[in-house]
Amino acid sequence: MNPALTRPRSVLFAPGNRADLMAKLPRSDPDAVVLDLEDAVPNTPEAKAEARIITRDAARELVAAHPRLNVFVRINAPLSPYFADDLHALTPELAGVVVPKLESGAEAQAVATALAAHGLSLPIMAGLETALGVWHAQEIMAVPAVAWAYFGAEDYTTDLGGTRLSEPSGTPNLEVLYARSRVALAARVAGVPALDIVVTRLNDDLVFRTDALQGRALGYAGKLCIHPAQVPLCHGIFGPTPADTARARRLLEAAHAAAEAGRGVMTFEGQMIDEPMLAKARALLAQAEAEPTQAEVGAQSGNHE
């Protein structure tokens, strides 16, 4: 598994019934890809059955051809009539399984038990997309099998009986701000990376950047993507930039010099510095060192295109 997934910046989806689109997923170098058997596949038994076969084959091919790529499959929700059969589309080589619309810790544990019954020990990316899911976010993420989580705004507002407003042009959408914040907070308490909401307006970089910056400000590790062009935007916003990295190094060097000189209080570039700022700088450098560079990723994947 790619070590960058300890804090994924981008997770790119493709329909589980489209082998052509799934084969193209690695081209934009996302941190992870999801082959979707849920929303992206028509809600009929015939369509779901065909997609399972296509997805299983595509997942194996992606894992074999792109060993640094984290490949997930999103199955249907536990209460769906398709859930049990979807488990047959999963293979041990996957980085994990995406489970939408989880609503309790008991339900998340039941999914882990069902996976184990199929001989699978896959970690779960929990979808918090309903009122109950958001309300029980912390207990869901406390289940040991849950390694990541995401907030789904569209399904949440539908379940709540609210209205999804147009995507932002500068201020957060207030109809999901509470739930978006609650999921991010619960994820931090549980120590689970959380992924931010989808931006459905394509070919509008400003809207995507604005929404992603809001997600980062709330504490999200990265964002769900539904178009390859969104991936590099995610990496620019959620990943440390060279300027961020350079500043963090300067800050830590200045702090070390201050400690050597016996100064308990220090300023850096006109700002009073305290321990939380130093901890953030150390975490940023650790993230930068853990993530492969674009050149490294390209070397791993470019030969397989």
Question: What single letter denotes the amino acid at residue 282?
Answer: R
Within this chain, do residues 212 and 258 fall inside the same structural domain, yes or no? no
Q: CA-CA distance, 180 to 125, in Å (whole number)? A: 16
Within this chain, do residues 255 and 139 fall inside the same structural domain, yes or no? no
String of DSSP letters for 57-116: HHHHHHHHH-TTSEEEEE---TTSTTHHHHGGG--TTSSEEEE-S---HHHHHHHHHHHH
Q: Do 304 and 26 meet the contact criterion of CB atoms below 8 Å apart?
A: yes
Within this chain, do residues 259 and 134 fall inside the same structural domain, yes or no? no
Please tell me the predicted confidence (pLDDT) of residue 273.
Answer: 79
> What's the average model confidence in pLDDT over 107-113?
98
Q: Is residue 303 part of a domain?
A: no
Within this chain, do residues 135 and 24 fall inside the same structural domain, yes or no? yes
Q: CA-CA distance, 146 to 125, in Å (whole number)? A: 6
Identify the CA nearest to 76 among candidates 97, 93, 104: 97
Within this chain, do residues 128 and 141 fall inside the same structural domain, yes or no? yes
Q: Is residue 304 part of a domain?
A: no
- The domain tally of the chain equals 2
CA 167 centroid distance within chain: 19
How many CB atoms within 10 Å of residue 161?
A: 7
Within this chain, do residues 189 and 264 fall inside the same structural domain, yes or no? no
Q: Is the pLDDT reported for residue 245 higher than 90?
A: no
Assigned token pair, 272: 């009073």
Within this chain, do residues 100 and 167 fall inside the same structural domain, yes or no? yes
Look at residues 202, 222, 238 and tell me which one is the last residue of a structural domain: 238
Q: Which residue has the higher pLDDT, 285 or 163?
A: 163
Give the total residue count for the chain.
Answer: 305
Q: 64-103 burial string, b = 16+ CB within 10 Å, else e?
A: eebebbbbbbbbbbbebebbebbbebbeeebbbbbbbbbb
Contacts of 245 (CB under 8 A, 6+ apart): 284, 285, 288
> What's the average model confidence in pLDDT over 157-185?
87
Q: Is the pLDDT reported for residue 62 higher than 70?
A: yes
> What's the average model confidence in pLDDT over 32-48?
97
Look at residues 218, 238, 258 and tell me which one is the last residue of a structural domain: 238
Q: Do 16 and 203 meet the contact criterion of CB atoms below 8 Å apart?
A: no
Within this chain, do residues 66 and 189 fall inside the same structural domain, yes or no? yes
CA distances from residue 68 to 3, 5, 9, 187 in whole angstroms, order as listed: 9, 10, 15, 25
Query: What proportion of the chain, given as a percentage, has pLDDT over 90?
Result: 70
- pLDDT tens per residue across span 174-216: 899 999 999 999 999 999 999 999 999 998 999 999 999 999 9
Q: CA-CA distance, 175 to 289, in Å (whole number)? A: 37
Q: CA-CA distance, 234 to 199, in Å (whole number)? A: 11
Within this chain, do residues 154 and 251 fall inside the same structural domain, yes or no? no
Look at residues 198, 222, 238 and tell me which one is the last residue of a structural domain: 238
Average pLDDT, the chain: 88
Q: Is residue 299 part of a domain?
A: no
**Cα Rg, the chain, nearest whole Å:** 20
Within this chain, do residues 250 and 231 fall inside the same structural domain, yes or no? no
Range of the domain at 19: 3-238
pTM of the full structure: 0.81
